[in-house]
Chain A
Amino acid sequence: MKLLTLNFLTCARKACKATNAAFPLHPKDAELEIVEVELSPLFVRNILPRVEWEALRTLCQDLGLPQLPATAPEPGELFTPNPSDGVEGEGIEEVGEEGEPTQTLKDLHHVLLETTIREGKLVCGSCGHEYAVKEGIANFLLPSHLV
């Protein structure tokens, strides 16, 4: 499972879902795998505002990955300025066509979409329940006494 996926997951138990402690889930005994995904610069740019940056930083730290900067990259850091445009200080929304994706964008793509947990567990910080990840698929079915 991608690290991006974890950004949209919390504990399946009703009592935990509304608590801050349940998000993000914490990987345990995680075995990582890099799965190549075709780079879509616009996808990365569009998804970035929806990523809880603090949670992603914690996650990377938990997994022993290179540390992410303290704050999420600004949209302007994701593309090189388009030479044909030349207007400075304009957001990329105003630019007809984006420039080339920067290394920052490529790194984000790698962390969010290509870095995956193949085997391991995801632990709820609120109730301590462990969800298994097997062959890259996380299983959130609860035993009946926890539903």
Chain B
Amino acid sequence: MADSDLRGEAYEAEHVHAVYEQIASHFSSTRYKPWPIVSQFLTTLPPGSIGLDIGCGNGKYLPLNPSIYILASDRSTNLAKIASSHQPQSAIVADSLALPHPLKTFDFAISIAVVHHLSTVSRRREAVAAILGVLRKGGRALIYVWALEQKGSRRGWEEGGEQDVMVPWVVKGPKQVKPRKRKAKTETDEAVSMPVEGGGDRTFQRYYHLYRKGELEEDVVVAGGAVVESGYEKDNWWAIATPRWET
């Protein structure tokens, strides 16, 4: 693993953006079940609320509440295309550190499994600040990141472990395909079998920063926000944040 000062934009271009662009359709086929905290956040918003889904992936959260308007964005063109099918919502291609939105405007924002792909602490905090910056006074953002503390998971990461990790995404070749039942519970970050032309497995490595307990709340405060509520849900830390406004 490279030192923190070697990471940054170029590093993420190779170890995050390029990977998602290549695995987009396979990734999307495994992303269909919304996380409960996210569902609850979106479905309890008042009708007519307007907001952003920053790092929307395949847009699996866009159909949950048709009485609100969500403008979704992703760094991957292939994922944004998939996400754009959910009417009446919209999807564009944008970078979470250079959002093309008017400031202090939106009622809500969600950033689900996105900030942990930024490879330095200053870039992660910049991303949180960018999310807070588009919210109107009293607006709320739900930020959701992978936890370091997931002893119960197959990956076995736990407190005190390395926080900057590479996580493989395996696209199975046709010869290795075994029919496998999809799990009924919330999906894990695990590739399911999918044939690839040419045969053989292909493994893509994605960079993640695993958040330790309390770290997300720290980032929110440093970025100029206040934590309204926060918690842990199935291997992830989440926080609902609101911008702190000078009175």
Contact = CB atoms under 8 A, between A and B. Distances in A.
A45 B73 CA distance: 25
Contacts of A131: 100
A49 B50 CA distance: 11
Interface residues of B, number: 31
A137 B102 contact: no
Interface stretch (B63-71, B143-151, B170-178): B63-71
A50 B71 CA distance: 13
A11 B102 CA distance: 8
A91 to B, nearest CB: 15
A12 B99 contact: yes
B66 to A, nearest CB: 7
Nearest to B46: A46
A142 B116 CA distance: 22
B103 A139 contact: no
Contact of B48 (A23, A46, A140, A144): A46
Interface stretch (A36-44, A81-89, A96-104): A36-44
B101 A8 contact: yes
Contact of A12 (B75, B80, B91, B100): B100
Most chain A CB within 10 A, of B47, B75, B88, B93, is at: B88
Contacts of B105: 8
B81 interface: yes
A137 B66 contact: no
Q: Which 3 A-B residue pairings sit nearest by Cβ, starting from the closest?
A: A46-B48, A12-B100, A140-B94
Interface of A: 1-2, 4-5, 8-14, 17-18, 23, 37-38, 40, 42-43, 45-47, 49-50, 113, 131, 135-142, 144, 147
